[in-house]
Structure 1
């Protein structure tokens, strides 16, 4: 009888301590954010500037104001990503046609969504509308073991059908690789790239100027003080 009671007690404890794939993934995501400086420090970041491809972006995190400079199109878009209000300049001239302006404001927001995701994805692992689940472990190119988390989306972003696999180094508790699937049902990713070269910017870590072929943001600047005219004037 004692043996039976002991076995029952142990089994109950194991069941209680068991984690679902979502719970395990969420705990790993929290470790990642803590390793990168913590959510409080991330929320306290006021301004970020970075280059993505041929674009330069300025982002006031607290207000949602964004400036996108696209020299290849002689275009500057000033848009609030929350209200979709703003202005745009083409060849140095302000756009007055409302239909054209609205198209450019929408495009500016889409650019920001894409370009900022390549910079801030680890901070968004637990965003509303994100479904995070633990898949497996896998070896990284440096032979370290990574926990692989799957990200899917529900009614968020401009491409909610996308899927990502996020590789978190078990030793460093940092995202070190990611894979992009255009559709949730795709078996193979469109790409798998490094997410490396973390650098201290203010009180947080961000990954930029990554390994050759990894793409992503470059020349990142994080500030608390900046010229607010960036979001109102050409």
Structure 2
């Protein structure tokens, strides 16, 4: 993985810092994370706004989507760069992640997100098609886990507002005619339960327009970081339409995170969870 000097790159390269609110029983891939909206009974103003957020992003369609395919990357004035490629079997937990650490190093991790122990996923990692064993294999699986938790949260956060351990509060002083603002804090769950998020939910569409966060590893007096969620894609599935943002633009900086090449396939490519060499394209 290429490391850059921009603060945005440094932030998302921290592995799991942006995966607040994810516990062992609410990790994407576990059965509890994709409850249809008709199982939720909003009790507060914050719940009602979060419930509308789920509906606007297509939670019920997401619940019935068997596979997810996306890329995670960065965009700067110098161009766009793909950091990792993801393919997820949401029924079995099988997960494929591909990334590079230079022009001659192609990593593939074939793991299962339901088999997580001490920051690593059960499975096998490969470098240029050769299986990694021992410390090298453990390190690659740890990298895969960090990529999984970080990258999927940048993509799926609007669908996770009712995850176990998430505390929602409505901020009337910050809300406007254009946006309802939710503050998310977390119980003792996930890798960094001290993270805080502010979700700016459109009063017109119900979608997430912007978020801000203050991460557990930041200085207490550091200002929150703001990103606009843009370039929404409508992804058809058997249960309806899922709506996800493919670009998160840093406010006040000429750079963005990309969660693109989005698809909800009905079936994976042949050998998707067994082929040790890269196969998810070079886009």
Q: Taking structure 1 as the reference length, what is the TM-score of the superposition?
A: 0.80
Which residue among 225, 229, 232 is the counterpart of 2:271? 229
Match of 2:52 in 1: 31
Note closer, same or farther for the CA distance 1:195–1:189 as it changes in structure 2 (3 Å cut): farther
Note closer, same or farther for the CA distance 1:126–1:185 as it changes in structure 2 (3 Å cut): farther
Is residue 2:97 matched to residue 1:77?
Answer: no
- Provide the rounded CA distance (Å) in 2 between the counterparts of 1:62 and 1:106: 22
Which residue among 213, 222, 230 is the counterpart of 1:196? 230
Contact 1:209/1:219, CA 8 A, preserved across alignment: no
Other structure's SS at 1:232 match: coil
Match of 1:45 in 2: 65
Note closer, same or farther for the CA distance 1:189–1:44 as it changes in structure 2 (3 Å cut): farther
Is residue 2:166 matched to residue 1:166?
Answer: no
Match of 2:138 in 1: 102
- Provide the rounded CA distance (Å) in 2 between the counterparts of 1:182 and 1:91: 35
- Provide the rounded CA distance (Å) in 2 between the counterparts of 1:133 and 1:86: 38
Match of 1:156 in 2: 189
Contact 1:137/1:145, CA 8 A, preserved across alignment: no
Contact 1:137/1:146, CA 8 A, preserved across alignment: no
Match of 1:216 in 2: 258
Contact 1:198/1:208, CA 8 A, preserved across alignment: yes
Q: CA RMSD in A?
A: 2.4
Is residue 2:87 matched to residue 1:58?
Answer: yes
Q: Which has the higher helix share?
A: 1
- Provide the rounded CA distance (Å) in 2 between the counterparts of 1:156 and 1:172: 30
Is residue 2:205 matched to residue 1:176?
Answer: no
Deviation for aligned residue 1:65: 1.6
Question: 1:16-54, CA deviations, whole angstroms, 9 ceiling, x for partnerless residues?
Answer: xxxxxx7211111111111222x3211111111111121
Contact 2:227/2:248, CA 8 A, preserved across alignment: no
Contact 2:165/2:186, CA 8 A, preserved across alignment: yes
Report how many residues are paired.
209
Q: Taking structure 2 as the reference length, what is the TM-score of the superposition?
A: 0.67
Question: 1:123-163, CA deviations, whole angstroms, 9 ceiling, x for partnerless residues?
Answer: 001101111111235478xxx62111111122322222211
Note closer, same or farther for the CA distance 1:171–1:138 as it changes in structure 2 (3 Å cut): farther
Other structure's SS at 1:196 match: strand
Deviation for aligned residue 1:201: 0.7
More displaced, 26-35 or 120-129? 26-35
- Provide the rounded CA distance (Å) in 2 between the counterparts of 1:127 and 1:71: 32
